[in-house]
A = this chain, B = another copy of it.
Amino acid sequence: MRLKDLSAELGLSPTTVSRALNGYPDVSEDTRLRVVEAARRHNYRPDARARGLAMGRARSIGHVIPTATRHEMVNPVFADFIAGAGETYARAGYDMVLSVVGDDDEARLYRDLAATRKVDGIIVHGPRTADPRVALLRELGLPFVVHGRVSEETGPYSWLDVNNRRAFYRATEFLLDLGHRRIALVNGLEYMDFALRRRMGYLGALSDRQIEADPALMSSEEMTEPYGYRAARQMLALDRRPTAFLTASLITALGVRRAVEERGLVLGRDVSIVTHDDELSYFSAPDTVPVFTATRSSVREAGRLAAEMLLDLVEAPGGPPRHRLLEAVLTVGQSTGPAPDRD
């Protein structure tokens, strides 16, 4: 059932049917009702491609998920972020088109999305400290919002980010207040912008208390569980082992915990852990004392908000870039306690 069929059946012109359905005022209330009713009855929806062609807009947003070519891992936060963004799109009548691509031919993909006009805007995931995508998208003239920031980018662009620096500054401070002095940082890959900022927060807090950072207590890698385990195991074997860990994700924290327990140490007594927690749905239970002390920030909510920003940008083009900085909250769980005396 297409527009032509529907209008034929109603004895109206396609023009009138189209205008009736799109709420133009120059259609009598009577006929509008007839049209709407008939459309409903036949389950008529305009063909999205034809509509988009005629109106010049795709009503869809692109998400490009880079899979690091080396260890083709897909970051689990994407799932929740996209779920959040999806809610926004559903509400606004947009579609989400997802591309999974090795980061080597990401540029080609962006050019493609622009040239084929498949999307009205793009969400940029996983920004690096220096990220060519910002300049590229600017050149292509495609509206975009970065989830995170690009430290070395000087030009204007829209972004939504968590205050990672402050979150890790406060987490470090929290551990210092508990008497910890040897605090390890089990960080994500530090060419990722968020990881760099977290490191800066950590270093800032240490230096504000005149504590020297120990390179042996800092590591940086892709945030898997085995990585947390390996890093912690190694650090715990040091002569002057850390009494506390700062980890970049819950998943990594699980690895750290495994190493701690394997060594016969007790979490929250012998060793403390503070982790960043993106509030992934499958790790949190509604009303329980959280296991891990954490800097929390819902990545799903971030997805919702980033999508809203982008839709604003798409629907009111030419405006100034938008920014939004979310604060993480520090929630105390069972994984932290005062530094043990014996040191």
Contacts and interface: CB of A to CB of B under 8 A. Distances in A.
Given A53-B53, A74-B83, A116-B45, A97 B60 contact: yes
A98 interface: yes
A241 interface: no
Band of interface residues on A: 35 or more
A285 B283 CA distance: 21
Nearest to A95: B97
Nearest to A67: B83
Given A48-B116, A117-B49, A282 B224 contact: yes
A30 to B, nearest CB: 25
Interface in A28-65: 43-50, 52-53, 58, 60, 63, 65
Given A63-B98, A65-B83, A76-B282, 4 more contacts: A48-B116, A65-B86, A74-B83, A226-B284
Interface of A: 1, 43-50, 52-53, 58, 60, 63, 65, 67, 71-76, 78-80, 82-83, 86-87, 89-90, 95-101, 111-112, 115-118, 222-227, 230, 251, 254, 258, 261, 280-285, 288, 291
